[in-house]
Structure 1
Amino acid sequence: MTSEIQGKGQRAKAASYILNIKTTCEKNEALTKIAEQLIIDQHTIMAENAKDLALGEKQSLPASTLDRMMLNEERIVAMADAIHLLVSLQDPVGTVIEQIDKENGLHIEKRIVPLGVIGMIYEARPNVTVDAATLSLKTGNAVILRGSSSAKFSNTALVASIHRALAKTSIPIEAVQLIEDTSRETVKELFHLKEYLDVLIPRGGKALIDLVVKEATVPVLETGAGNCHIYVDQMADYIKAEKICLNAKTQRPSVCNAAESLLIHPIWFKSHGMQLLTALHDAGVTIIGDEQVCQLFEAALPATEEDYAMEYLNLTISVKLVENVYEAIEHIHRFGTHHSEAIITEDQLVAETFLNNVDAAAVYHNASTRFTDGFEFGYGAEIGISTQKLHARGPMGLPALTSTKYFIYGNGQIRE
């Protein structure tokens, strides 16, 4: 008997061959229909999402997880807006990126092509269902989605809406498959579905990502957890520092590009540190500090090595004093996750030292880490933030979901 994974893998593979010959116009029409259908179905989607939230509250899921799970009218409209932006973006598929004319008359073209079938494993983030499906379709890929049990009702409702939209187009509904069985056995089977999957992308916490990277035999595009740092240099402007730190920590603390660690130069801290920590504390942020910070700021709790490596995903931040930019860089390399790192300074030389030497997918000078996002970068959405270096790095938009293929045109040439 064919398992759900095998059956949906087969259908997704078949759909990928159909998608491969679809025009940009046909793909954009399907995306437009999906955006429209999400708005039509928003009340049904929110009702199903409410079931997930109620179960999550019963299971005492963290507030940060419930926030990532929650779908309201504003977030569904934002999903639709992101899809409309995606429609407006250039389709990379078919682009000729290199041409070679050989002396023997061979004409060689290197073109961008779809990956094929993308497998997506993600946690309590129903927005990923729409992001992954629409980015995959725009690039001519079929996708198999495996969300967590905590968002099962939401994901099912979203995929049902996507299928209703696709049924009105030339794109087969099998191009977007949702694995309904959320057991661990199905995950393990998906890890080894090399016959049908061309790539597997995990999106979620460190434990999930590490598991996929360790266990999967399907090639993995690794997205990373976000222990993001802000280094406040000796020459930082206070107004900029307070505004950036508050935004990076509090604007939406449950996401991977929120700041989790704050590094401060001692001279700057002597003049402005208490004011900054007070502003954070007044905004509801728990300060986990080193010995110096705890001595000077009464509300601070003592930090451990584990605290400096923590992706809190809530209103908590670790704070440490560092002697200079080099010590800040060393700390980031020890505890960071290669996601997003920022420096606040008016010293351009120190800023360039930081930007050039920090090993991360995105580095910022005098700006919040919250901008590491496909929508903010103009990609419409992203399928994840890659913290690896091969194939893709940073917000993975359309180009990251493609490969290349060589087209060779001859006139009877043979190799001597």
Structure 2
Amino acid sequence: MSREDLRQAVHQAMPATLDDLATLVRIPSVAAEGFSKEPVLEAAHATRDILQRVGFQDVRLLDIPTGYPAVYGEIPGPAGTPTVLLYAHYDVQPAGAVEAWETPPFELTPRQDGRLYGRGAADDKSGIAIHLATLRSFAGQPPVGLKIIVEGEEEFGSSLEAYLLDHADLFQADVVVVADAGNNRVGEPLLTTTLRGEASLVVEVRTLQGPVHSGAFGGPTPDALVALIRMIATLHDAPGNVAVTGMQGQSWSGTDISEAEFRYLAGVLPGVDLMGTDSIATRVCSSYSINVVGLDAPAVQGSRNALIDVARARISVRVPPERSAKEALELLTAHLKVVAPWNVQLAFSEQESGEGHAAATDGPAYTAAYRALRAAYGKEASEVGSGGSIPLINAFARVFPQAEIILWGAEDASANIHAPNESVDPAELERAALAEAYFLHDLGTTQKPA
């Protein structure tokens, strides 16, 4: 099949693929605690049915003992060709405040800007769609061996990791393609080669047996919220660099991004300074970052003149790919203990960590990936690091140390993943599928590694 034939085949596959994407987006498959389990299981069954329909064989739900089922399928390839494991996930973030959405969150809705809106339209049901369009372009007969795993709880901790370690033979592959990333701008191809790790904890500050009147006791009485604010303020220096001892990153040697473009992509308000002093790419890809992502304190609405007896914060750290996330938790905990004022009582809980990833990029699959992106997008691809984390990638790297791991997708920086009005650009989705089809086609001309 020529590249032009393959381009036409991918294009012809898109209407059915977008119908499948619409089916999946309609299912509110939020795997977080406190949300209904039924939609998540419905999404698992719908994914299974779609994979069967496009030609995957031995399609089944994998019973993950501590989590939601993953969906597995495979297609044997021609003799001597490599085996490629495709990955995506069907679970999504909660919609949040429905009133913040301009269209229904669980309905794939086109708008005048040409994008398709809905929760999961990008992260990561678009990843499923990329794999579907790719297989359709080969009429169910790919040039390499294919396996596919679609996870059911990537957004809230991956139980699939333990299953993978116990069932390595099922997932054995020469190349792993993770369709859970994307480009900064539509039409500008990137390969994500590093991921930062993630660590988080909840710190609780207690000072009093209960709230007391601020007039009668304010002054000498330690307020837990004021203490917590003072502690949080020490996490960064004046320009905004992380100020925790031991949390030093390193310079990023890949593609940089201009401050103007980053401000645009992040939606930074006019006149508001960016934090930190290194290059933008260094700050995002290979340095630590610390944020307070949750705070338990009295709301302004209905607040009263009382000193606060207890305050809590969830603090999240993004960790450079070659540094330990568990060590980051230890460094953060030690720092908070040192800077806590007035001998307040501290408690730490809900500690979680996931390690980062740095891919080896000098193998034949990466050469084929760059070639495929150039052919699909009409321009050279750049290398980029991601500040986000994908828990299962390190498990893939640990179980299959010789496998090359390719990370790409259709989640451009305007997709608003994890936020209201999430969207995907259908043309970008088609380009990503075309790149994957070219990639598999090229791999099919190589011999499986010995």
TM-score between the two structures when normalised by the length of structure 2: 0.27
Q: Which has the higher helix share?
A: 1
* TM-score of the aligned structures, taking structure 1 as reference length: 0.29
